[in-house]
Amino acid sequence: MSAFNLLHPDHRMIGIDLHDAIVPPSGRKIPSLPHTVFAPLHGASAGYAATVLHVPNVRVCFAAALQRSTDIGSMIKHVQINALVPFIMYDSKSKSEFGAGTVRVGGRPVGVAVFQTFNLNLNCGDPTRLPSGYVNAPSTVRAGMTLGDLYAGLAEMAFDIAWAMLKSKVFKAAIMPAISRILGKSFAALLKGNPQLAAIIEKAIEGRLRQGCRQMQTGGPLGF
C-alpha cells in the first residue's frame, strides 16, 4: 500500500478533449477536434456544482473532502472555435474515478490522485470519453490505496466509457430519427439541407437528455 494525495476542491483540471465541431462559416461537422479545457474540481462556477461529491464536515487542507466519483460537471471551459461549444459546455463532465477504500467520507471512499501527486480525470468527448484531464494535486493529507481500489477505479472508468458510447449510439440511431418522424418530412428535409443546424439541434437535445439522466444519479455506478 502506498500513500496518495487526497483531492482538494481547489485543485485544477486542465486537459485536451476531443469533440465534434462546426467551425464557421463552414457548415461541415469536423469529428473529434481537440479542445483545451480547464476548471477547478469544485465546479466551473462559484460554490460546488451539483455533481461534485463533497463532504463539508470532513476537511482536507481547510476545504471539504471529495469522494471518489466526484465530477466537475457542467460549464467546464472549452477553448476552441466551434459553434457547438455552448452545448458541449452545458453537458461537460470531468470525473475523478479513484479513491482509497480504507478512508471513507460520507460513506464512500475519499478521492485520491492515482499517480500519488497528480490524477487523470475521465473527461467528456466525442465519440467517447477519455482520461484526458490532468489534475496537479499537491496536498499534505494522504491516504493508502490498495490494488483493489485501483481495480475499482479502472472498472468504473471502463464502465463510464462504455456507457457513454452506448448512449451516443442509441441517441444517433433512435432519438433523432424519431424526432424527425414526429415533426414530419419538412423538418427532416430542413435538417438534411442544413447540416450545421442539424448538428446544433442534435447536440442540444443530446445534452439535455444526458443532464436529465445525471440528475437521477448520485455518485458512480460502483458504490464500493
pLDDT at position 189 = 62
pLDDT at position 218 = 43
d(CA 89, CA 59): 29
| pLDDT per position as a tens digit, 29-69 | 899 999 999 999 999 887 899 899 999 999 988 899 999 99
Q: What angle do CA 119, 220, 120 make, to 5 degrees?
A: 10
pLDDT at position 106 = 92
3-state secondary structure string across 21-58: EECCCCCCEEEEEEEEEEEECCCCCCCCCCCCCEEEEE
Query: What pTM was computed for the model?
Result: 0.83
Set of cell numbers at residue 220: 458512480
pLDDT at position 215 = 55
pLDDT at position 176 = 66
d(CA 90, CA 208): 8
Kindly report the number of other CB atoms within 10 A of residue 107's CB atom.
9
* Long-range contact set of residues 24-28: C-beta below 8 Å, sequence gap at least 24: 24/81, 24/83, 27/194, 27/195, 27/196, 28/195
d(CA 76, CA 124): 10
pLDDT at position 187 = 57
Q: Which of 57, 44, 60 is nearest to 4 (CA)?
A: 60
Q: What is the DSSP letter of 221?
A: S
pLDDT at position 39 = 97
Rg, C-alpha atoms of the chain: 19
Per-residue pLDDT of the chain (224 residues; tens, 9 = 90+): 689 999 999 999 999 999 999 898 877 889 999 999 999 999 988 789 989 999 999 998 889 999 999 999 999 999 999 988 998 998 899 999 999 999 999 999 999 999 999 999 999 998 889 999 999 999 999 999 999 999 999 999 999 999 888 887 877 777 667 766 766 666 566 555 556 656 776 777 766 666 665 555 544 444 43
Query: Which H or E run includes 203?
Result: helix 195-215
Q: What angle do CA 19, 6, 1 make, to 5 degrees?
A: 110
Residues 55 and 34: beta-carbon distance below 8 Å: no
d(CA 66, CA 141): 12
